[in-house]
Structure 1
């Protein structure tokens, strides 16, 4: 389940607490001492905390909250036969979190626990076992159905993201074609006007040369406007897609490339800056490095993403030209930094701080 889906499910988790009515009802119908009421209410509050914990963690991390719910249900059963509601929640999350074989074994264990209480110490309700079996089995099936529903939703979300990436790729190709057509014509016109102005100047026809330069300026301004219109709304294809394209560019330039680690999942604006920064570093390698290998490595700590772009060329000193200055500016705008090392090749490390909600 994605973080967005998990937040959405947790927002509505309180609705399913209605089943606790089975637990609360005996507290109204039966006569209890004050301390017993206090114990049962405290157990219910801890149980609700574990319930929300299950909603807030991935399926792989639900084992301990489920065990906690099961233990609380066992502890209160001698006092309150409505504990079948608590067992049913444990059954739901078992059906939701595990494959059907594990879930079947776990649900069977819960049913055997109900039987042990019913035929062993006994409970304050003669129908504890029959009702418990029906409720636990039914709710466990609901948990299994919910797992299948969310898996289907995740697949749909992945398909939608892939469609969006493909659409973005098509848009990039359209922009490339438009720019090719616009700039091809415009640059030809600029070259022609420049040659004419130069010819007029050589003949000392300054008025005619000035006229050509005015037309040249108008062509350049019009070209700039057309380029802006063409690229308005442009979005890159995402960090993963851009990395594959950069890898291909490096291969075309004669570099073998390795991309290691897990690229960060960040918001669009920060991802765009990171894509442009890595693209500039790769361009520098293709233009200036005399090496044959390039490594792009991703790592992270609790507060920071680390990205290293390294080549194995003979590099002893790095001059900070416009490209590297642009990279440093982009990182600075994001609150990050750039570190450059020229020991056994050139290594540029980008440090990008995580946002508060991304920090572990």
Structure 2
């Protein structure tokens, strides 16, 4: 059984009981003979009681999971059989049985059930007989038609269930993507911020040891500003990281590198990017600069921008002695950010550590 078939065997959620009243108009076939023909009071009472029980079973069946409709269906079928010798309008009751058969079961079983209902009509028509010469002909058409309605309702429910599952899956994936984004942003933001805090703290400690109190006070002030900025960025990462533009972020990165003892060389013209591209590039550059400060033994960090007809290219390199590189969350995050923009990130360790980022112009470039 497929997943969609399994789902269709669960709660019948297509219509509420108040909507089920709409379909009871077909009971006119059953009620009309009770008005037109001379039944005794005892017969009318019996037919009325049978009708009330049938309607109760109808609503009960309407509220059952599809895989629990068998016994209510059999009970309704039994009532239809019992009343047929007295009221040929029982074709209406058989039609409701056909509806639930078409609704509750897969096509082969539903078809067999409808054939069984039509056979029951034929047995009454050509066997014990009924009060109506057209009992079988009208009954077969009505039962078959209403059974098709039940089948259509089943297909509609399966379609609605598939749409609900699709919406739930989209929501789940969107939540997972958002969590991954926040995790990457926090890693990139806090990584460089904590590195700056460690650096500023070490400088302040060294200056205090040398009794350079004014210089130490300056470092502590900058440390406090970095901590406040970090807190603000963490809050922003929940709703989407916001920055002050690539050019200003480059100046901040240059200052961080300078504080760490690196000379920074920026060449080329920074590209004009869409907001999403610029955010990804800023976070990628932040992570790469953090890696240079943490791991490079060199003295110069170069950031170079250029472009081709279809691609923006950014290169970050240092003149340190290359060491074995492990692709942790940082470099993996940089690579993933570029892939999300349709670009890529590549790493080279020839003559120093060099990371190249490429972003296609066709996705979000500003004209």
The two structures have a TM-score, normalised by structure 2, of 0.57
The answer to whether the 8 A contact 1:84-1:128 is kept is yes
Aligned to 1:218: 225
Distance 1:181 1:4, change over 3 A: farther
Offset, 1:8: 4.3
Q: Who wins on radius of gyration, i.e. which is larger? A: 2
Matches within 5 A, 1:148-167: 148-167=155-174
The CA distance in 1 between the partners of 2:166 and 2:37, in whole Å, is 54
The answer to whether the 8 A contact 1:197-1:208 is kept is yes
The CA distance in 1 between the partners of 2:135 and 2:58, in whole Å, is 23
The answer to whether the 8 A contact 2:8-2:158 is kept is no
**Counterpart selection for 2:188 from 181, 196, 221:** 181
Cα RMSD of the aligned pairs, angstroms, is 2.6
Q: Secondary structure at the match of 1:6?
A: coil
Aligned to 2:12: 6
The CA distance in 2 between the partners of 1:35 and 1:213, in whole Å, is 100
The answer to whether the 8 A contact 2:11-2:64 is kept is no
The CA distance in 1 between the partners of 2:10 and 2:233, in whole Å, is 39
Offset, 1:132: 0.6
**Counterpart selection for 2:84 from 77, 87, 90:** 77
Aligned to 1:66: 73
The CA distance in 2 between the partners of 1:71 and 1:3, in whole Å, is 24
The CA distance in 1 between the partners of 2:13 and 2:161, in whole Å, is 14
**Counterpart selection for 1:27 from 29, 34, 38:** 34
Aligned to 1:137: 144
Aligned to 2:353: none
Matches within 5 A, 1:107-256: 107-206=114-213, 208-232=215-239
Unpaired segments of 5 or more residues in structure 1?
A: 234-360
The answer to whether the 8 A contact 2:185-2:237 is kept is yes
Distance 1:164 1:30, change over 3 A: same
Post-superposition Cα deviations, 1:84-126, rounded to whole Å, max 9, x if no partner, equal 1110111111122222322222222211221222233322222
**Counterpart selection for 2:96 from 77, 84, 89:** 89
The two structures have a TM-score, normalised by structure 1, of 0.58
Does 1 or 2 have the higher relative contact order (CA < 8 Å, sep 6+)? 2
Moved over 6 A (4+): 2-5
Offset, 1:16: 1.6
The CA distance in 2 between the partners of 1:24 and 1:211, in whole Å, is 95
Unpaired segments of 5 or more residues in structure 2?
A: 1-6, 241-367
The number of residues matched between the two structures is 233
Distance 1:181 1:161, change over 3 A: same
Offset, 1:40: 2.2
The answer to whether the 8 A contact 1:23-1:80 is kept is yes
Offset, 1:210: 4.3
